[in-house]
Amino acid sequence: MNYSICLMPGDGIGPEIVTQAVRVLDLVGRKFGHTFTYTNVLAGGAAIDAVGEPMPDATVQACKESDAVLLGAVGGPKWDNLPRHLRAETGLLKIRKELNCFANFRPATLFPQLASASYLRPDIVAKGLDVLVVRELTGCVYFGQPKGIVEENGERMGFNTMRYTESEVRRIAKVAFEAARKRGKRLCSVDKANVLDVSQLWRDVVIEVHKDYQDVELSHMYVDNAAMQLVRDPSQFDVIVTGNLFGDILSDAAAAITGSIGMLPSASVGESGPGIYEPIHGSAPDIAGQDKANPLATILSVAMMLRFALGLEAEAAVIEQAVSAVLDKGLRTGDIYNSAQPGLTLVGCTAMGDAVVDALG
Ligand code: IPM
Ligand code: MG
């Protein structure tokens, strides 16, 4: 089969990690008889520099015509002080919205080889870290109108609107119940229904959707408590579903407890059309261009892309096994290196890519 992939390397370490991920994808293609045709597109700061906006329409169009989008990372200090409509983040929100990628899967799992990298106590880690955060991605306070900064009673006033329609909640709830059904069959819906009307509606609709998923156990948690529970006892969670803002915060917390944010992939998908696959870490401008970045999260995002977008389960699995084999060998980029642990070798981005390619055979 021939698949067309949009590559959006972006900024900072983005180009380096995408380069390694593409090597892996090409090799898997050769082994399994698939051809991947790539279109390189501009996004983020790279697009601002080249054409004056962070998500050009030409990029959006190319993405819409592809089978999947592989994104490195966007943004950096060089573009941080531009007006909001020109910021890299605004470009990211635009492509999510344009592709209608309303469901963001952020699995926070710990490779056993990296257990010592976790910030949590060993007895907590021993219980396992395997949480899937399903974050709603195209609604909430991120997109709600009205918003702005206005003059009120002689001073400036800033405001945004947190809003969800019933149908927006229903569709993300369905996606989350489906995901839970394929895993541990437990779904925790996180909201702030004790204070926010929008959260009360969220909770009511999730309870309605649950009627069609009686085989999945549903619980509810307030977001403040959820943040605490994620750190205190993450093993209690299987799948978490939550809104855009709470999901932004909780998915970082879930990632951090694994201690290896450089390892975690993500997928953003809609009901149809191409999804966006990307590492959950950012553009790390401090180490950009130094061959120090960890390409494994991007390589694992390629695995998610093969599985979710192209239905290529066996191909996804060999990549995940290759990554695990490389960790078994003790190879570590700086972010997952522990000088106190014997038997580890510190490697750069390219060498890590080489190792995964070697492991794929
Ligand atoms: C993320 C990021 C983005 C978000 C930013 C860069 C716009 O934090 O993907 O979690 O808030 O969604
Ligand atoms: Mg975030």
C-alpha 25 – ligand 1 centre gap (Å): 25
Q: List all residues 6 or more positions away from 105 whose beta carbon is below 8 Å from its beta carbon.
A: 132, 133, 134, 179, 266, 267, 268, 269, 304, 308
Which of 246, 271, 296 finishes a domain? 271
Other beta carbons within 10 angstroms of residue 341's beta carbon come to 11
* Residue 248 annotated among the catalytic residues of the structure: yes
Q: How far, CA to CA in Å, does 193 sit from each of 189, 204, 225, 238?
A: 11, 10, 12, 21
Does the C-beta of 11 come closer than 6 Å to ligand 1?
Answer: no
Q: How far apart are alpha carbons 244 and 135 in whole angstroms?
A: 6
156 & 291 share domain: no
Least confident span in 81-85, 181-185, 312-316: 81-85
Alpha carbon nearest to ligand 1 atom 5, residue = 89
DSSP for 159-223?
Answer: E------HHHHHHHHHHHHHHHHTTTSEEEEEE-TTT-HHHHHHHHHHHHHHTT-TTSEEEEEEH
**Considering only CA atoms, which of 78, 95, 51, 77 is closest in space to residue 268?**
95
* Cross-strand bridge partners of residue 105: 134, 267
pLDDT of residue 261: 87
Q: How far apart are alpha carbons 279 and 275 in whole angstroms?
A: 13
Which of 211, 245, 271 finishes a domain? 271
C-alpha 248 – ligand 1 centre gap (Å): 6
301 & 153 share domain: no
261 & 278 share domain: no
* Residue 224 annotated among the catalytic residues of the structure: yes
Asked whether residue 47 carries a pLDDT value surpassing 90, the answer given is yes
Kindly calculate the radius of gyration of the chain based on its CA atoms and give it in whole angstroms. Answer: 20
Substitution candidate for ligand 1 out of 87, 89, 95, 143 with most atoms within 8 A of CB: 89
154 & 264 share domain: yes
Alpha carbon nearest to ligand 1 atom 4, residue = 248
Least confident span in 62-66, 143-147, 260-264: 260-264
137 & 68 share domain: no
298 & 264 share domain: no
118: confidence class by pLDDT, cuts 50, 70, 90: confident
* Residue 192 annotated among the catalytic residues of the structure: yes
pLDDT of residue 6: 98
350: confidence class by pLDDT, cuts 50, 70, 90: very high
Per-residue pLDDT of 250-260, as tens digits, reads 999 999 898 88
131 & 229 share domain: yes
1: confidence class by pLDDT, cuts 50, 70, 90: confident
* Residue 130 annotated among the catalytic residues of the structure: no
Q: How far apart are alpha carbons 159 and 144 in whole angstroms?
A: 10
pLDDT of residue 117: 83
In the 8-state DSSP scheme, what is residue 271? S
116: confidence class by pLDDT, cuts 50, 70, 90: confident
pTM assigned to the model: 0.96
Q: How far apart are alpha carbons 123 and 104 in whole angstroms?
A: 30
* Residue 97 annotated among the catalytic residues of the structure: no
Q: Among 224, 233, 328, 358, which one carries the catalytic annotation?
A: 224
Task: Please name which ligand lies nearest the alpha carbon of 252.
Answer: 2
Does the C-beta of 92 come closer than 6 Å to ligand 1?
Answer: yes
- The residue type found at 204 is D
Per-residue pLDDT of 151-175, as tens digits, reads 999 999 999 999 999 999 999 999 9
pLDDT of residue 196: 98
Task: Please name which ligand lies nearest the alpha carbon of 266.
Answer: 1
172 & 157 share domain: yes
CATH number, domain with residue 354: 3.40.718.10
175 & 138 share domain: yes
Per the prediction, the chain carries an average pLDDT of 96
Please give the tally of structural domains in the chain: 2
Cis peptide before 146 (omega within 30 of 0): yes
Write down the residue that tokens 């997109």 correspond to: 143
Q: How far apart are alpha carbons 242 and 353 in whole angstroms?
A: 34
pLDDT of residue 175: 98
Asked whether residue 229 carries a pLDDT value surpassing 90, the answer given is yes
Domain hosting 296: range is: 1-99+273-361
Which of 271, 288, 316 finishes a domain? 271
3 & 67 share domain: yes
29 & 66 share domain: yes
C-alpha 314 – ligand 1 centre gap (Å): 30
At 158 the three-state DSSP class reads: strand
154 & 252 share domain: yes
C-alpha 130 – ligand 2 centre gap (Å): 19
Does the C-beta of 278 come closer than 6 Å to ligand 1?
Answer: no
Other beta carbons within 10 angstroms of residue 156's beta carbon come to 8
Residues 139 and 96 sit within 8 Å (Cβ to Cβ):
no
Q: What percent of the chain has pLDDT over 90?
A: 93
Per-residue tokens: 307: 């599985």
What is the mean predicted confidence (pLDDT) over 97-126?
93
Q: Is 252 annotated as a binding residue?
A: yes
Per-residue pLDDT of 174-217, as tens digits, reads 999 999 999 999 999 999 999 999 999 999 999 999 999 999 99
